[in-house]
Amino acid sequence: MTLKPNEKEYDSYYQHYINLVEDANITKGLQLGKQRFIDFVVQIPNEKFHFSYAEGKWTIAEVLLHLIDTERVFSYRAFRIGRGDTTPLPGFQHDEYVPYSNAKSYTKQELLQEFTAVRESTLSLFNRFNNDALKLMGVASGAGISVRAIGYIIAGHQAHHLSVIQDRYL
């Protein structure tokens, strides 16, 4: 399926992320996003990797791990909904993940390896969804969402945070 999801397929909270996805083919968009992420992280100076632009704000490494953690959660949602599971899926408190992420122990290379593994898994999952599966709707965080929308949210969430890093950290 090459069409972006319509507004009935996701909560309005995600509109910004979906708008950031340029490509109508979500697997192509996720693949391009993978390379953009790698190219972006490689150019981050080592001395800034564990830098935070203000007190109480995440470091670059923490932001990047937030992207990885969020992709894991959203891929799981896509998997469940895409297999016809109609059980409502809970939300998650992403801010509570950061203190347990152990971000300070990551090197750029380790973070890139983890991102690549997670994204390859996401790509494998989305490559196997047919058009009917991509249209399936489920409930996550108390709102309706389609498998297709989840793919766009993953890609747009990444684009959003890389832009924030570029603007506020580098």
Q: On the CB side of 108, how many CA atoms lie within 13 Å of its CA?
A: 16
Residue 124 · residue 30 · CB < 8 Å? no
pLDDT at residue 125 is higher than 60: yes
Q: How far are the Cα atoms of 64, 79, 123, 149, 165 from residue 51, in angstroms, in the given order?
A: 12, 34, 30, 32, 11
The pLDDT tens digits of the residues spanning 40-76 come to: 999 999 999 999 999 999 999 999 999 999 999 999 9
- The band of 1, judged by pLDDT with boundaries at 50, 70 and 90, is low
Segment 22-27 mean pLDDT: 85
Q: Which residues pair with 29 in a beta bridge?
A: none
Q: Say what the pLDDT of residue 56 is.
A: 92
Residue 139 · residue 89 · CB < 8 Å? yes
- The band of 113, judged by pLDDT with boundaries at 50, 70 and 90, is very high
pLDDT at residue 39 is higher than 90: yes
Indicate the average pLDDT of the chain.
95
pLDDT at residue 139 is higher than 90: yes
% of the chain at pLDDT higher than 90: 95
The pLDDT tens digits of the residues spanning 83-94 come to: 999 999 999 999
Q: Say what the pLDDT of residue 148 is.
A: 97
pLDDT at residue 3 is higher than 60: yes
Which spans in 51-130 are helix H?
A: 60-82, 94-97, 108-128
Q: Say what the pLDDT of residue 106 is.
A: 96
- Region for residue 142 given its phi and psi (left: phi exceeds 0; alpha: psi -120 to 50; beta: otherwise): left
Q: How far are the Cα atoms of 7, 34, 58, 164, 167 from residue 81, in angstroms, in the given order?
A: 18, 23, 31, 30, 35
Q: Tell me, which fold does domain 19-136+152-168 have in CATH?
A: Four Helix Bundle (Hemerythrin (Met), subunit A) (1.20.120)
pTM equals 0.95
Domain spans in the chain, listed from the N-terminal domain onward: 19-136+152-168
Tokens at 159, concatenated: 């684009």
- The band of 169, judged by pLDDT with boundaries at 50, 70 and 90, is very high
Segment 138-146 mean pLDDT: 98
Q: Say what the pLDDT of residue 146 is.
A: 98
